[in-house]
Structure formats: structure tokens, C-alpha cells
Amino acid sequence: MFFHSSSLATPAEKYETRAYFSTDQLQNPVEIVSDFVKRWNMEVTFEVGRAHLGVETQRQ
């Protein structure tokens, strides 16, 4: 399996540098980070919903 990677650094090192990976070889770095941001919003929504309902996940 091949991975395409992208690293992201912020001006003045305000936040730590992060690396993002994708198995889609055709994605450019902007698309990789954009997909991560979209996914993150869903993950937070699911986590808040599970906490509200008192449902645990297998990750815990």
C-alpha cells in the first residue's frame, strides 16, 4: 500500500507541525488537509452525540 503525505506548518511555529496521509495518490496536499478538516468536524459531532446519549465506543 502506498501513501501520499502532506505536512503542515504554521507561521512562527504557533502550532506544532503535523503530517497528514492519504492512500489516494492523486490528491494534492490541499485536498488531503481539506478532507481531514471535513472528517474532523464529523468526528467531533459524533463524539458529542455519543457523550450526550451515554454511548461508549470500542476505541475507549
59 falls within a domain: no
32 falls within a domain: yes
- Neighbouring CB atoms inside 10 A of 39's CB total 10
* pLDDT of 14 higher than 80: no
33 falls within a domain: yes
> Pairing mode, if any, of strands 18-22 and 4-8?
antiparallel
Which residue has better confidence, 11 or 39? 39
* pLDDT of 9 higher than 80: no
Structural domains in the chain (count): 1
21 falls within a domain: yes
20 falls within a domain: yes
- Domain limits for position 15: 4-53
pTM: 0.54
60 falls within a domain: no
Q: Which of 41, 34, 38, 42 is nearest to 6 (CA)?
A: 34
Average pLDDT estimate for 36-59: 82
